[in-house]
Amino acid sequence: MSQASMVPVLEITDLHVSVGEKEILRGVSLTVGEGEKVAIMGPNGSGKTTLSNVLLGKPGYRIDQGSIRFMGQDLSSLSTHERAQLGLSLVSQYPQEVEGVDLKDLVGAALSARGLDLDGVESRVANEARKIGFSESLLGRWVNVDLSGGEKKRLETLLLSLVPARLAVLDELDSGLDIDALRQVSQRIEDLSSSNSMAVVAITHYSRLLKTLTVSRVLVLAHGLFVTEGGPELAEELETTGYRDYTGKGTPTEDIFPF
Ligand X SMILES: Nc1ncnc2c1ncn2[C@@H]1O[C@H](COP(=O)(O)OP(=O)(O)O)[C@@H](O)[C@H]1O
Which strand (E) or helix (H) includes residue 25?
Answer: strand 22-32
Q: Contact between 129 and ligand X (CB under 6 A)?
A: no
Please check whether residue 217 is in contact with residue 39, taking contact to mean a CB–CB distance below 8 angstroms.
Answer: yes
204 binds Mg ion (CB under 5 A): no
45 sits near ligand X (criterion: CB under 6 A): yes
Residue 42 CB, shortest distance to Mg ion, in Å, is: 9
Task: Report in angstroms the alpha-carbon separations of 102 from 20, 93, 124, 139, 213.
Answer: 36, 20, 15, 8, 29
Which phi and psi angles does 207 have, rounded to 5°? -70, -20
Taking CB under 5 A as the criterion, the residue among 46, 49, 175, 204 binding Mg ion is: 49
Chain centroid to Cα 209, Å, comes to: 13
Q: Which does 153 bind (CB under 5 to 8 A by kind): Mg ion, ligand X, none?
A: none
In the DSSP assignment, the letter for residue 230 is E
The packing angle between helices 103-113 and 149-162, to 10°, is: 30
Q: Which is nearer to Mg ion, 151 or 171 (by Cβ)?
A: 171
User: Which residue's CB is nearer to ligand X, number 49 or number 184?
Assistant: 49
Examine residue 258 and tell whether it contacts ligand X (CB under 6 A): no
The stretch near ligand X (CB under 6 A) out of 38-46, 175-183, 205-213, 235-243 is 38-46
Contacts to Mg ion from residues 152-191, by CB under 5 A: none
Interface contacts to ligand X, rule CB under 6 A: 19, 24, 42, 44-50, 60
